[in-house]
Each structure stands twice: as structure tokens, then as C-alpha cells.
């Protein structure tokens, strides 16, 4: 079949090339420059690291992506103890949560922008020491101003873990392998929401809230040492901003650092596709937060659970669902992309990756939160508790079967700006989520659990509708605004 030139950016399947001559090709610029050998260049870029080395890289970035979830998740169960220790109130201490969300939003944009210019490795080697300082200082804080200031630094320092980590996946895995790798990354990383509240509750109940902060500092320090010795620069050769910049005049002045505007990447939201994925991800993910955030006041109060550690255990089924759903969704999305591309005669349609999200967004996420609302309100005793835990598992499974392929889709269509695109997606979604979460408690108090979760389920179905429209009309949406979308040859 002849290559097509539709505005949909659908492109022909890149032909396979033997890997024996990869090293020679990388060493020969003339070979790489010829049209005939361009596919060889494409394969060689992704064969720079062995499969074993790629697994090490995924392990390292997953650890760095896991830490932010512990930074946020372990703090919430500790709020009453922190308030008592610092002679304040829970309401005042809870402002630290809002400060951290704001810091994560700003920080993710900052680190992603700089990772595209200076590379992935420097981001980790700078951010992790700052996290050590911030976590240690939070643990040593003896008054509210110091707590708030160091909490901002702590959250800012670790905020690049998700967006830069996803960009690293795009650096080292080809299009047909990316979904599965992204799923593994998300699965390991999303152990945080399941385990962090339990860890924070246990630390606060049996030791002190400060102990958890010192543990976070130690984890960041260990991660820094491993990153320093084991993590290579993964950006494609010649693609970093610093690689493209001419330093003649700047070097003469002794100025090689370029000041970057982290908010410039927000312009990427002009892409209808990126905006759609961001909003659909928010609508589906909100069902998860609506279940977990007030858990102590819904499941805990309904079934008489008051111990912080036991409340933390109730988060585990959702986390297990996350860990299964993320790699499962990623693997299935890889299979669908390859199968439909082959059936289409080699033509790649990026929206094929999103097809796996439709079942999860249309059934698993909304129905689980809807069922949880009615079970909590009308089913008592052990049966009600067990059914709620099952709903939490199904919700975690469904949410990550949406988020994992969606993240891969963003990297697919915005490969050259993958870090910034992921940062915009996560940062903008987090800011909306911070506002939306504040409404959960008042809604439950005013309307009850069943009605509140019915509204949350309806919002999740709105997210499903946005995903369906993107799958159906994604090629036309990409034609509305020219964002320099990636093609098969640049993936």
C-alpha cells in the first residue's frame, strides 16, 4: 500500500531492519542520512540499551515516581498529630496539602521543560538532593511557617517523577512496546496510593509523624546514589535543546545556562487531543479520589473502623487494582495498536491505543463508585465492608486501564515534547482535582454517600464520552490545530 498523506498523520508501518548493523549505522552519519537507511536509524535509537538495562532504568524511574505519592499520601493521616505537635489545628495544617498540590503542579512543568532542554539525567540528580533537604527539614519543623515552606520545597523537588519518567519510557521503547512499558511504570509507581496512607498511619500511630519524613529523605538519598551510578542519559542524541544551541557568544561571556519559562508548555493545551485526554483522565480519576479521600468518614464510620492503620489497610484493594490495571491496559493497548495497524496495511492510527480505555471508562470506573455509594448507605456489617473493598479493587483496576494507555497515547502523538505534554496533563489535571476534591465532603454531608457517588459516576461517564469522541474523531481533532504531531517514523 502506498503511504498516505492525510491530515490525520496516519503513516505507513516502518519496515523491519536486521539489528546486526545497528552499531555500524550509529557510527556512520552518511548511512543514517540516506532515505533508504532511515528505518535503520529509527531502530538503532531504541536499541541503544539492552533489554536488561531498560529494566534497570524502569526500576529507577518507577522508584522516583513512587516517592511523590508517598510524600502526599503519608502526610494526610498524620495531620491530627502534626496539629497537636505544633500547637495548631487540623484545618491550618491541611493547608500544607494545598501548598503541596500547587508545588507539584508548578514543579512538574518546571522539571519537564528543563528535561527537554538539558536532558533527563540532570533532573533526577538535582531534584533528588532537594527532596532529601526538603523532607529532612519538614521533619525538623517546629512551627507552621517553616512547615509550609519546607513542604513546598519537598513537593516541588519530587514533582518531576511522573512526567519525566513517562518521557524516559518514550525515549527507550518503540511505539509497539511503549504501552506495556508504561503500564509497568505506572503499576510500580501507583503502589504509592495504596501503601502510603497505611505507612503514614502506622508511623503516626506507633512512632511519630516526623519519622516518616526522615524515611522519605533516606529513600530519596538511596535513589540519588543509584541514579548517579546506574541511570544514563536517555534523550535521543541531538534532540535536547542544549544540543541544538550555538554557544559561541554565550561561552565567551561564560554563560551557558538558559533561563526557561516552565509555563510556556501550557500552550500545548491548544491541542484538542491533549485537552480531551486531560479532561477525560480527570473525570475518571475523580471517581478514585472520591472513594479514597473521605474513606475514614464513609467506610470507616459506617463499619466502625477507627484505627489509623486499619483505615490504611482499606486502601490496599484499590492499590492492587492499580497495579493490575496499569500493565494490563498497557499490554492490551500495544496488542490493539499492532493488530489494527497490520489490518490497515501498515497505516498507524494513534487513537487505536485508546480503544482499550472504553470498557474501563464506560463500565468499571463508574459502576464501581456507583455501587460503593449504595452499598455503603444500605448494606451493613461484614458483607457491606467486603463488597466495598471489592468495589475499591474494581475501581483501581478500571481507572488505571484508562490512565496507562492514555499516557502512552500522549507520548505517541507528542513524542518530541513528551515530558512537557505529560507535565501539562498531570499538572492541569491535578489543579482541577484539588478544587474538585474539596467538594466531596460537603456533598456527602448534604446529600449522602449514595447520591454523591451517583454524581461522581455520571462525571466518569462524561469522561467515557470524551474518550469515545477522541477515538472516533481523533484524526480530525489533530487536524484542527497543527501542534507538530509525531508520525510513525518519529516514534
Residue 135 C-alpha cell reads as 523532607
pLDDT of residue 6: 40
pLDDT value of residue 401: 94
Q: How far is CA 224 from the centre of its chain?
A: 20
Is residue 455 within 8 Å of 443, Cβ to Cβ? yes
- Least Cα distance to 318 among 425, 391, 401, 372 occurs for 391
Q: Going along 122-217, which residue ranges are E strands?
A: none
The pLDDT value recorded for residue 99 is 79
Most confident of 179-193, 234-248, 294-308: 294-308
Q: Which of 65, 52, 124 is nearest to 322 (CA)?
A: 65
pLDDT at 207: 86
pLDDT at 330 over 50: yes
In this predicted model, what pLDDT tens digit does every residue of 129-141 receive, in sequence order? 999 999 999 999 9
* Percentage above 70 pLDDT, the chain: 86
Residue 91: pLDDT band (50, 70, 90) is: low
pTM of the predicted model, to two decimals? Answer: 0.73
**Cβ within 8 Å of residue 43, ≥6 positions away:** 14, 16, 17, 19, 22, 174
Nearest Cα residue to 402 out of 270, 258, 276, 216: 276
In the structure, what pLDDT confidence band is assigned to residue 297 with cuts at 50, 70 and 90?
confident
Would you say residue 3 has pLDDT above 50?
A: no
Distance from first CA to last CA of the chain, Å, rounded?
20
pLDDT over 90, % of the chain: 40
Q: What is the pLDDT of residue 42?
A: 60
Q: Is the pLDDT of residue 26 over 60?
A: no
Query: Which of 40-44, 53-57, 381-385 is predicted with the least confidence, judged by mean pLDDT?
Result: 40-44
Count Cβ atoms below 10 Å from residue 283 Cβ, excluding itself: 27
pLDDT band at 336 (very low <50, low <70, confident <90, very high): very high
Do the beta carbons of residue 491 and residue 46 sit within 8 Å?
no
Q: Which residue has the cell 545556562?
A: 257
pLDDT of residue 263: 81
Q: Which residue carries 467538594 as its cell?
A: 439
Residue 159 to residues 72, 118, 254, 423, 485, Cα–Cα distance (Å): 11, 17, 30, 9, 26
Average pLDDT estimate for 150-154: 94
Cβ atoms of 290 and 438 closer than 8 Å: no
Is a pLDDT exceeding 50 seen at residue 227?
yes
**Nine-digit cell string for 152:** 513546598
pLDDT at site 28: 38
Our measurement of the distance from residue 425's CA atom to the centroid of its chain's CA atoms, rounded to an integer in Å, reads: 9
Residue where the block lists cell 490495571: 325
The C-alpha cell 509550609 sits at 148
Closest CA to 213 of 161, 137, 118: 137
More confident residue, 18 or 446: 446
Domain 50-234+265-490 annotated CATH 1.20.1250.20: yes
Average model confidence (pLDDT) for the chain? Answer: 83
Tell me the three state secondary structure of residue 20: coil
**Any idea where the domains of the chain sit in the sequence?**
50-234+265-490
Angle between helix axes 161-172 and 51-73 (nearest 10 degrees) is 170
Residue 399 C-alpha cell reads as 481507572
Amino acid at each position: 500500500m502506498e503511504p498516505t498523506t492525510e491530515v490525520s498523520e496516519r503513516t505507513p508501518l516502518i519496515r523491519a531492519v536486521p539489528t546486526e548493523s545497528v552499531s555500524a549505522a550509529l557510527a556512520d552519519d552518511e548511512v543514517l542520512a540516506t532515505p533508504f537507511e532511515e528505518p535503520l536509524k529509527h531502530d538503532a535509537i531504541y536499541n541503544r540499551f539492552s533489554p536488561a538495562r531498560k529494566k534497570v532504568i524502569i526500576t529507577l524511574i518507577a522508584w522516583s515516581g513512587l516517592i511523590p505519592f508517598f510524600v502526599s499520601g503519608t502526610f494526610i493521616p498524620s495531620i491530627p498529630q502534626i496539629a497537636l505537635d505544633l500547637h495548631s489545628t487540623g484545618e491550618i495544617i491541611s493547608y500544607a496539602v494545598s501548598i503541596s498540590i500547587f508545588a507539584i503542579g508548578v514543579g512538574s512543568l518546571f522539571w519537564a521543560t528543563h528535561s527537554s532542554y538539558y536532558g533527563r539525567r540532570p533532573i533526577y540528580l538535582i531534584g533528588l538532593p532537594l527532596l532529601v533537604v526538603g523532607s529532612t527539614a519538614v521533619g525538623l519543623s517546629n512551627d507552621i511557617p517553616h512547615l509550609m515552606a519546607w513542604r513546598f520545597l519537598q513537593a516541588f523537588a519530587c514533582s518531576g517523577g511522573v512526567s519525566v519518567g513517562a518521557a524516559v519510557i518514550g525515549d527507550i521503547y518503540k511505539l509497539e512496546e511503549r504501552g506495556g512499558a508504561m503500564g509497568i511504570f505506572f503499576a510500580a509507581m501507583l503502589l504509592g496510593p495504596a501503601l502510603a496512607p497505611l505507612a503514614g498511619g502506622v508511623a503516626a500511630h506507633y512512632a511519630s509523624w516526623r519519622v516518616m519524613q526522615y524515611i522519605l529523605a533516606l529513600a530519596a538519598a538511596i535513589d540519588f546514589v543509584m541514579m548517579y551510578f546506574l541511570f544514563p542519559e536517555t534523550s535521543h542524541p541531538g534532540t535536547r535543546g542544549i544540543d541544538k544551541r550555538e554557544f559561541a557568544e554565550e561561552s565567551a561571556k561564560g554563560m551557558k545556562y538558559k533561563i526557561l519559562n516552565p509555563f510556556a508548555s501550557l500552550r500545548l493545551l491548544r491541542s484538542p487531543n491533549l485537552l480531551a485526554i486531560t479532561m477525560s483522565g480527570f473525570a475518571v480519576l475523580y471517581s478514585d479520589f472520591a472513594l479514597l479521600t473521605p474513606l475514614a468518614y464513609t467506610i470507616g464510620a459506617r463499619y466502625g473502623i477507627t484505627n489509623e492503620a486499619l483505615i490504611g489497610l482499606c486502601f490496599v484493594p484499590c492499590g492492587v487494582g492499580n497495579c493490575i490495571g496499569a500493565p494490563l491496559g498497557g499490554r492490551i493497548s500495544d496488542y490493539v495498536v499492532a493488530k489494527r495497524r497490520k489490518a490497515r496495511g501498515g497505516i498507524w492510527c494513534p487513537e487505536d491505543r485508546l480503544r482499550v480505555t472504553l470498557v474501563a471508562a464506560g463500565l468499571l470506573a463508574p459502576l464501581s463508585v456507583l455501587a460503593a455509594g449504595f452499598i455503603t448507605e444500605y448494606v451493613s456489617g461484614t458483607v457491606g465492608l467486603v463488597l466495598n473493598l471489592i468495589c475499591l479493587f474494581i475501581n483501581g483496576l478500571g481507572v488505571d486501564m484508562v490512565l496507562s494507555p492514555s499516557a502512552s497515547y500522549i507520548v505517541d502523538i507528542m513524542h518530541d515534547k513528551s515530558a512537557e505534554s505529560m507535565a501539562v496533563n498531570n499538572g492541569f489535571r491535578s489543579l482541577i482535582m484539588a478544587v474538585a476534591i474539596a467538594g466531596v465532603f460537603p456533598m456527602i454531608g448534604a446529600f449522602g454517600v449514595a447520591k454523591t457517588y451517583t454524581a461522581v459516576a455520571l462525571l466518569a461517564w462524561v469522561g467515557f464520552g470524551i474518550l469515545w469522541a477522541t477515538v472516533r474523531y481523533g484524526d480530525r481533532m489533530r487536524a484542527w490545530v497543527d501542534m507538530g504531531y509525531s508520525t510513525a517514523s518519529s516514534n
